[in-house]
Structures are given as structure tokens and as C-alpha cells.
A and B are shown apart, each in its own frame.
Chain A
Amino acid sequence: MRNQLAGTGTLLRLALRRDRVMMPVWITVVALLVLSLPASLESVYGTGAERARLLGTMNTNGSLRALYGPVFGDSIGALTAWRGGVFAGVLAGIMSLVIVVRHTREEEETGRQELLSAAMVGRRAPLTAALLAALTANGLAALLVTAGLTGRGAGGAMALGLGIGATGMLFAALAAIAAQLTESARLAKGLAGAAIGAAFVLRAAGDAGSAGGSSALTWVSPLGWLENVRAFAAERWWVFALFAAAVAVQVAAAYALAGRRDIGMSFLPARPGPAEGRLAGPGALAWRLQRGSLIGWSLAFLAAGVVFGGMTDGAAQLVGDNERTREIIERMGGQSGIADAFLATMAGMLGMIAALFIVSAVLRLSGEESGQRAEPLLANAVGRLRWAGGHLAVAFGGSALILLLAGLGLGIGHGQGVAAAVGATLAQLPAVWMIGAFAALLYGAAPRYAVAAWAVAGGALTLGWIGPALNLPQAVLNLSPFAHLPKLPGAEALAWAPLLVLTALAAALLAAGLAALRRRDLAA
């Protein structure tokens, strides 16, 4: 056993050294997201009476519970946990899956692990080191959240901090399993990411169905466990036993799987491919490389649309006697008709998530270049524009496709207004394209910093999701392209101007990015 773990400490140091920038940034973002909430919540819901009314409103409105979960108490701490807990848990989950896959499957895929494992490194050391790196990150995030909120009640602060950290570790353990199952790091991240998405949808559907946040669906989702820790509202510490058990079971499964396979291999045997190829050009190649991911996103968006569409009618039950609540709902989405507002909010959320798809699809270019697969391709009679065009077509066309499917799903789930729902999701497209075009510009002009496109998409998501509750000045909210979109369905006169301006801006950014790509040196 000792031998199996030889070198774990060194590998952990290597992991922390490699992540010395990424990890602190993630931890800070997760912690700041939560810690920035109390002050702004205080400014919106200053008095206890206002908060009590919010509580009543939220718990009778299924659609808002779907978005943010139920509220369990009327203290500022409880509202902070309600508004930021799940979001921070999702972020901690993404951070954890990136860390774990990066130090396990990605190392094997690139062949670096072979070199490391030839040294005094035990068979279980790489996975252990990756999990310990995730534990370090989640532990620090939990510590920061706890320390920052202690003033609102030490027990609640600790429950929320631990809950966020435990959620992160749960998805870290899940990513450890995914990393054993697939040979490609990209697919492992995709699987773990899909699990987080499913957990979110399950929680949303479960919360929409019951006022207490304790329906069966909620309890299937680890994010449901997180909200049911009920930080700052008579904490239920026993929920952590669920987290601990789930982490232990998954980690044991990951070790068992890791012990049964060879380095670099997976459980899915490689099947032979065709001896003769039919790929006709760079466009066909780009489609072939990205179609798996696009199909996954399409199914996920269609399913999410159907689920959210089905929840829409819960919105009609709103008992809205609080001016501020009404104001917030309007700021979050619609201008008239709460059902429309709900659909508009969902369309907006799916749009912001589609921005993640377009960034990943555009950055395939960067991956192909730094993976040195672009170089021999471009040594053929293929211009850079034609090569980039294939991937960009998948990115821009694919984002239109998934939003179309999401709109169809919303309409079908709601049982009416399919055209309006499709219009609402497609109206997100200019903002999504704008972010995609920005990613293309970064890639073309400053390829080393292309990953910053993720920060842009993440920033837009954070501004749109948490921003309205924070009472941020409109100038800040307007930084996100999504802030300029008309709220559909429901707007009386469709404002074409912002859609056209955003599309034109996206086209300009894209053109600038392509021009820069043509002029610059290709990475060796």
C-alpha cells in the first residue's frame, strides 16, 4: 500500500505548482461570489418584514424556486446561502473536475504520465495527488467562505463553506471516475460537466415541484443536498454524512477502476476505423471533430428546454405583493406576464450557457494549433481562413442549433407558444455570437491568451445570474452583451436595434480576429 502511494507528495507539489495561477483565480471567484452577496442583499431587503415577504413569495412561486431554490430563513445569511450557494457549488464542481481531469487523464493522454510513472511513483499516486489538489482548492474555498461570513453566524458560515467545498469534492470524485472511463481528457470533462448540468436540472425540477425543497428529485441531486444543508436556518449537519458517503463510494470506485486498467487505456476498447477516408476538406474535418460535442449539447439543451417549459405554469401562481420582488423578477427577465417573464429568464439563462458552448467550439482552433495538428494540415493547399472557417461554422451554426432546440423544448414542455419560445431563445444568438467572436479575436490576435475567452463567458454568466440581485449599477450590468437583448417572449414591440448592433459588432470582431490570424505566425 505504501508503495502504491510512493511519490504522491511530489506529484501534489507538481500539481499545485502547475496550477499556481488557475487555482487561486478559481478559489477567489468562488469565494467572492458568495462574500459579495450579504451587503447587496441588505441594501435590497433592508428590513425583516421585507425579507419575510420575500420568503413567502419565493416559497409559493414554483418557477423562482426552480431558478434559485427555496429560501429557508429570512436572515441575510440565509438569503446569501439561497442566492449564492448553488451557484458557488456549481463553480466549485467545475473547478474540481478541471483539476482532477487535468492531473489524471490529461497527463496520460499527452504521454507525460508515462515519464512520471517510470520514476518512483506508485500506481495510485497520480489519482491520489489529483484528488488532494482538488481537496486543497475546495478546502481553501470553504475556509474563505466560512471566514468571510462568520459575522453572520459561525454555524451557518461553516455550513455554507463546508457545503460548497463538499459539493466540489463530490464532483471531483465523479470526475475521477470519468477520467478512468474515457481515453480522452476532453470527453472526461464533458461527462463530468454533463453530470453537473443534470444535477442542476434535477434540483430545479425538484424544487419547482415542492415548497419545502425536499421532493425526491431534489434529493437525487447533490446540488439539492447543498441547499438542504440549510445554512443559517437550523443547519442540518447530517446532510454532510450523505456527501461523505458519496465521496467515499465514488473515490473507491475510481481507485478500483484505476487498478484494473493499464496506463493510458480505458474500458472502452478502440475499434478499428475505415481504411479509406471520405473527409473532403477542412470543413468536413471540423464537423467530424466537433460533432460529438455538438450532439451532446443539442440533447442537453432540448432536455433542459422541455424540463423548464414544463415548470412554466408554476409561475402563474405567483403571489406578488412585494414591490421589490416584482422589481427583481422584472430585472431578471420579463416586463409583462409572469409566465412570459419565466420563459424569458430561462431563455436568457440557456443563452448564457450557450456562450460556454461557443467558446469551447471556437477554442478548438487553439487546441488544434497548439496540439500541432494544424501545422501539417496547413502545409496542404488549405488557407488559414478555410481551415478556421470550418470550426467557426460549427461554433456559430452550432450555437444557433442548440438555442433553436432549447426553444422547441421550452414550447413543447410548456405545451403552447412554440414559435414565441423559439423566438425567445434565438434572440439570445447575437449576444452568444458576440462572445464567440470575441473568443475568435483573442485566438487570432493573442493566441496565448485565448483561454481568457472562458473568463468572458463566465463573467457574462455571473453578471446575468447574480448581478441583478446585487444591485450593481446598470453600467456594470451592461458590460454583458446579454443585458442588451430584448426580453422575449412578452415584449410589446420587438427591439431589433440591439440585435442588429450586436450582430454587426460580432461580425466586426470576427473579421478582425480572422485578419489577425492570417497575419501572425503559427505556434510551433
Chain B
Amino acid sequence: MTKAISVAGLHKAFGRTHALDGLDLSVDAGEVHGFLGPNGSGKSTTIRVLLGLLRADSGTAELLGGDPWADAVALHRRVAYVPGDVTLWRNLSGGEVIDLYGRLRGGLDRARRAELIERFELDPTKKGRTYSKGNRQKVALVAAFSSDAELLILDEPTSGLDPLMEGVFQGCVAEARAAGRSVLLSSHILSEVETLCDRVSIIRKGRTVETGTLADLRHLTRTSISAELAGPPNGIAQLPGVHDVEVRGLKIRLQADTDKLDAVLRSLADSGVRSLTSTPPTLEELFLRHYADDVHGNGNGADGGVKAGVSR
């Protein structure tokens, strides 16, 4: 499969700060790729390198098969970008900005533009200075989605949208995917990433720490199980990969490593199961595991970090 974005071993330093420290990222053509990481982990820096606004110190970056620095202008015809913090010219109307961006990208679909303005409930006659944060983002989103760009780079595009508009946004991304476009979506709204993304990359301190499909990533973490048993649980706490066991009479709650589920279920079945709920790990848990590593000081903690965030 061809790659929309492929980045390997990217380094970028600003003075003494190493914003990117060997980052890898690969986005297949036609996929929606979630790009996650704590504040200051290098997401926006990566995007700026991909847009040819910054020049990487070392490593390789390829955007739609081209060099993002050298071929910037030609590539940008095929890319649409929505920054997290949209600033508009105070005396230009939203409609003017949408059309300007459209022309600079080589034209936009008028019908689609009108439809998107309708769906996002945007007033295109208002001047830049009078828009709220959410409305400024809508201007950039309408401009991006009404283009026929092959690749959409969205840097926290929904941080100011209300839940209703968030739904419209998710619909637009789904349509873009259906139309065969690729999307790089940097976001802190994990439910959004979970709903939309085929694959995710989690970065930390300028380095990629996890990448894969959500199913892949879930495999590496724990499922929480609560059950009502017919008889007392039997030695389940001693099984490998079982954590946080809590027994109250015949009711049991526990966390199990997802790849050790077989043995846990067998042991539960031995005691007789009356009811069983199992919750797959959420992206939030995955995410917190990597974020919380900072607190625990270890770069690759598979255990440890989870509890603080998960058991709330």
C-alpha cells in the first residue's frame, strides 16, 4: 500500500530543547490516523515539518511521495491543513477566507462549500474579529473539507466545537475516508480518535512510543471484568496477568492482561458464572499508561502507570 506520510528518525531541536527525538510516523493512503501525545510532545512540530514550515535537523520525511521541504508548494496543492489555533484577519469575512484558501489550493467545490457552511451552521459574512474560537475553527474546517485535497492534516481541529458540531466533524471525516482521502488527526478528544481512526500513533517527548490499530494496542493492555459467581472464586488471584482483585461475597472484580484472558475465564467458569461484564480497555487507558510514565520516571513501563489513571 502506498504511504500518505512516512517519517523515520526525525530530529528537530530548538536551541537546547529537543522537540523531536527520532520520531517515526507512517500513515497509509486512505486511512484515518490518530496522532496522540501529551502537550509539548512534538505533535505540532511534526506537522510543521510535514508542511515544510520547519526544516528537520535529521531523519527522513515524505509527504505524498514528495519531500515536504523542497516540494512544499506542489505538495500543498494536494494537502489541506487545519491548525489547532485558527487566527483570521480581523477585517476579512469568514467567506472571504474560505475562498482565499480555496483559490490558493487550486479551487474548491462550490456545492460542497455551501453544504458545509449549512451543516456547520457558520455565518460566512461575519468578520474575523467577531468569530468565537469554535467559529474560527469552522472557517478552517469548511475550507479544508470543501477542497479536494488527498491528505487532510488536522491539528486538534475540534478543541472549540460544541458536541453537535463535533458530530458534524466526525461525519465529514468519515466522508473523507469514504472518498479515499487520508487523514492525520491530532487530537486530545479520545472518543473522537476511537470512533474515527483506523490506526493511532502515540508519541511522547518527540518519540513514537506506540503505533498500530486500536485492536493491536488493546492487546497490550488490560480488560476489566466483573462477575457474579455461583461459588467462591478459586485461586484466581494467583493466576499470571491478574491484577487488582476485589472479592465481595460472590461478586468479583478484577483486571486481566488482555492476552491472559483465557485462563481467567476458565477459572471463573470453574466457579460457575451467573453474570459477567467485561470492558475492553479504552483508548484513554492506553493513553494514560504512556502519559503516566512521566510520573513514574520509567520510559517503557508496561505496568505501574496504569493504576493511577485507571482505577479512579
B53 touches A272 (CB 8 A): no
CB interface residues, B 74-89, toward A, < 8 Å? 74, 76-77, 79, 81-83, 85-89
Contact (A275, B125) CB under 8 Å given A183-B90, A376-B86 = yes
**A278 nearest CB across to chain B (Å):** 7
Please measure, in the bound complex, the distance between the C-alpha atom of A279 and the C-alpha atom of B100, giving whole angstroms. 6
Q: Is the CB of A272 within 8 A of B93?
A: yes
Stretch at the interface among B30-38, B102-110, B266-274: B102-110
Q: Are B99 and A381 in contact (CB under 8 A)?
A: no
Residue B18 CB within 8 A of the other chain = no
Interface residues of A in 158-203 (CB under 8 A from B): 183-184
Tell yes or no: A372 within 8 A of B by CB: yes
CB of A474 within 8 Å of the partner chain? no
- Which A residues from 265 to 296 make CB contacts under 8 A with B? 270-282, 285, 288-289
Sort A-B residue pairs by CB-CB distance and give the 8 closest, nearest first: A273-B93, A277-B96, A277-B99, A380-B104, A379-B81, A272-B125, A275-B95, A381-B77
Give Cα distance in the complex from A519 to B81, angstroms: 22
CB of B73 within 8 Å of the partner chain = yes
Decide yes or no whether A459 CB sits under 8 A from chain B. Answer: no
- With a cutoff of 8 Å between Cβ atoms, the chain A residues found around residue B60 in the complex are none
A364-394 Cβ-contact flags toward B at 8 Å (1 or 0)? 0000000111011111111100000000000
Mask of A230-243 contacts with B, CB within 8 angstroms, 1/0: 00000000000000
On chain A, the residues within 8 Å of B55 by CB distance are: 519-521
Contact A288 to B92, CB < 8 A, known contacts A278-B99, A279-B100, A372-B85: yes
Q: What distance in Å separates the Cβ of B104 from its nearest Cβ neighbour in chain A?
A: 4
Number of A positions contacting B (CB below 8 A): 36
In the assembly, what is the distance between CA of A380 and CA of B140, in Å? 12
**Known A279-B99, A372-B83, A380-B105; further 12 A-B contacts with Cβ < 8 A:** A272-B125, A273-B93, A273-B126, A274-B95, A281-B103, A285-B89, A289-B89, A379-B83, A379-B153, A380-B101, A381-B77, A521-B53
How far is it, in angstroms, between the C-alpha of A282 and the C-alpha of B89 when the chains are bound?
Answer: 13
Please, what's the 1-or-0 string for B57-84, where 1 marks a CB less than 8 Å from any CB in chain A?
0000000000000001110110101110
Cα A381 to Cα B104 in complex, Å, equals 6
Docked pose: A288 CA to B99 CA in angstroms: 14
Cβ-closest chain B residue relative to A277: B96
Report the Cα distance A377→B153, complex, angstroms: 14
Q: Per a CB cutoff under 8 Å, which of A109, A288, A382, A521 touches B104? A: A382
A270 x B105 contact (CB < 8 A)? no
Please give me the residue from chain B that is nearest to A520 by CB atom. B55
Interchain pairs with CB closer than 8 A, number: 118
Contacts A272-B127, A276-B95, A277-B95: A373 and B89 contacting too (C-beta < 8 A)? Answer: yes
Alpha-carbon distance A372/B81, docked complex (angstroms): 13
Q: Which of B44, B79, B92, B103 is within 8 Å of A379, CB to CB?
A: B79
Contact among A277, A375, A379, A381 for B100, CB-based, below 8 A: A277
What are 14 A-to-B residue pairs whose CB atoms are below 8 Å? A184-B90, A270-B130, A272-B126, A274-B95, A275-B93, A275-B125, A277-B97, A375-B48, A376-B82, A376-B83, A379-B53, A380-B104, A383-B73, A522-B48
Nearest residue (CB) in B for A111 is B133
Residue B160 at the chain A interface, CB threshold 8 Å? no
Q: Could you say which residues of chain A place their CB within 8 Å of the CB of B48?
A: 375, 522, 524
Binding site for A on B (CB under 8 A): 44-45, 48, 51-55, 72-74, 76-77, 79, 81-83, 85-93, 95-101, 103-106, 124-127, 129-130, 140, 153
Q: Is the CB of A274 within 8 A of B51?
A: no
Closest Cβ of chain B to A126, distance in Å, is 19
Cβ–Cβ contact A379 & B51, under 8 A? yes
**Residues from chain B with Cβ under 8 Å of A381 in the complex:** 73-74, 76-77, 104-106
Residues of A near any B CB (own CB < 8 A)? 109, 183-184, 270-282, 285, 288-289, 371-373, 375-383, 519-522, 524
> Given A285-B100, A376-B83, A383-B72 in contact, is the A277-B53 Cβ separation under 8 Å?
no
Interface of B, helix, strand, loop or mixed by DSSP: mixed
* CA gap between A289 and B100 in the complex, in Å: 13
Query: Cβ of B91: which chain A residues have Cβ within 8 Å of it?
Result: 184, 273, 289
One of A184, A271, A276, A373 near B99 (C-beta < 8 A): A276
Q: Considering the chains assembled together, what is the distance between the CA atoms of A372 and B87 in angstroms? A: 7
Assuming A183-B129, A524-B44, is B101 touching A376 (CB within 8 A)?
Answer: yes
* B99 touching A375, Cβ below 8 Å: no
A-side contacts of B129, CB under 8 Å:
183, 270
Instruction: With CB as the reference atom, state the residue of chain B lying closest to A379.
Output: B81
CA A68 – CA B222 in complex, angstroms? Answer: 84
Report chain A residues within 8 Å CB of B88.
373
A89 and B93 alpha carbons, distance in the complex (Å): 40
Contacts of B51 in A (CB 8 A): 375, 378-379
Nearest-Cβ distance from residue B310 to partner chain A, whole angstroms: 34
Chain A residues whose CB sits within 8 angstroms of the CB of B82 once the complex forms: 376
Please name the residue on chain A nearest to B126 by beta carbon.
A272
Complexed CA–CA distance, A120 and B91 (Å): 32
| Cβ B89 vs Cβ A275 within 8 A | no
Across-interface contacts of A376 in B (CB, < 8 A): 81-83, 86, 101, 140
Would B127 and A281 count as touching, CB distance under 8 A?
Answer: no
CA distance A272 to B131 in the complex (A): 12
Give the CA-CA distance A370 to B81 in the complex, in Å.
Answer: 18
What CA separation (Å) do A450 and B125 show in the bound complex? 35
Which residues does chain A contribute within 8 Å of B89, judged by CB atoms?
Answer: 285, 289, 373
User: Which single member of A275, A280, A522 contacts B53 (CB below 8 Å)?
Assistant: A522
Q: Which of A183, A288, A376, A381 has the most CB of B within 10 A?
A: A376
Across-interface contacts of B81 in A (CB, < 8 A): 376, 379-380
> Which A residues touch B86, using CB under 8 A?
376
In-complex Cβ contact of A273 among B45, B79, B95 (8 A): B95
Q: What A residues does B124 contact at CB under 8 A? A: 275-276
The docked-state distance in angstroms from the alpha carbon of A369 to that of B139 is 19
Instruction: Give A371 to B85 CA distance when docked, in angstroms.
Output: 11
Please give, as numbers and ranges, the residues of chain A lying within 8 Å of B95 by CB-CB distance: 273-277
Question: Which single member of A277, A285, A382, A383 contacts B93 (CB below 8 Å)?
Answer: A277
Q: Which residues of B contact A521 (CB under 8 A)?
A: 53-55
> Which residue of A is nearest B74, CB measured?
A381
For residue A289, which residues in chain B have a CB less than 8 angstroms away from its CB?
Answer: 89, 91
With a cutoff of 8 Å between Cβ atoms, the chain A residues found around residue B79 in the complex are 379
Of B44, B85, B92, B106, the residue contacting A277 (CB under 8 A) is B92
Report yes or no: A274 in contact with B96, Cβ–Cβ below 8 A: yes
Report the minimum CB–CB distance from B86 to chain A (whole Å): 7
Expressed in whole angstroms, the minimum distance between the Cβ of A65 and any Cβ of chain B is 42
User: Chain A residues with Cβ under 8 A from B53's Cβ?
Assistant: 375, 378-379, 521-522
A282-B100 Cα distance, complex, nearest whole Å: 9
Interface centre among A184, A277, A288 (most CB of B within 10 A): A277
Most-contacted residue by chain B among A184, A275, A378 (CB, 10 A): A275
B87 contacts A371, C-beta separation under 8 Å: yes
